[in-house]
Amino acid sequence: MTKRVCEIKNLILKYRHAVPLILYGIIYLAWFGHLERTVTSHYRVIHVPLDDYIPFCEIFVIPYMMWFAYVAVVVMYFFFRDKDDYFRTCTFLFTGMTIFLLVSTLWPNGHYLRPYIMPRDNVFTRLVAALYKADTPTNLWPSIHVYNSLGCHIAIMRSRRIEKFRWGRAVRIGSFILCVSIVMSTMFIKQHSFFDVATAFILAAVMYGIVYGTDTLINFYHHVSRHHKRKPEIS
């Protein structure tokens, strides 16, 4: 075996924990895409009285869209820097996302909160209009935007590596501000009902106890890692 082949093999072994992330990403996107295409009518309408008092505020489309980078950066940081936190974060996110998919499949849901006509014409309302075209007002409960934001912020707050980091406090404060902004954005741009947000908080609280209240998952991960560990080959 050549040295180059050995290096590739060792690199694959080093980052084999990417496999669950890739596989779940494929499954989630395929499942969610199917729901978006099929759930277009005959769904349960989600609405609570508080929704009628929340104003439409288009500027919140910015933190709403920043969610994609927020989740990606947090997951990739732990992927390269801390496998234990990476495993906890993925377990937290994937479990909630799977519950969301099951709920959307068994109890199709949607809302009528979006404005029929934009109250203003500016760059933010245009972004919201583009978002509305790309994302149907269905498959909302619980809000994955809210749930995953909470999961990422919890991961940052629980990370010992970030705690010891020179700018760790600033990172935590920034994460908190962004997390709160994203949560608020889901309601202010009328992507979600308050009910979706509240249930996402409840689910996150339950998952926090499961994922961070025990070391069983991490012990299992270490057991599997030791079982599959191989010594580097040199030729």
CB 75 within 8 A of CB 6: no
From CA 209, how far away is CA 20, in angstroms rounded? Answer: 22
User: What is the model's pLDDT at position 174?
Assistant: 97
- pTM for this structure? 0.87
The phi and psi torsions of 110 (rounded to 5 degrees) equal -165, -175
pLDDT tens digits, 47-60: 999 999 999 999 99
**Residue 235 has what DSSP assignment?**
-
pLDDT tens digits, 170-208: 999 999 999 999 999 999 999 999 999 999 999 999 999
**Residue 165 has what DSSP assignment?**
S
Alpha-carbon distances, residue 123 vs 66, 68, 135, 231 (angstroms): 16, 20, 18, 56
What are the structure tokens assigned to 102, written together? 């099951």
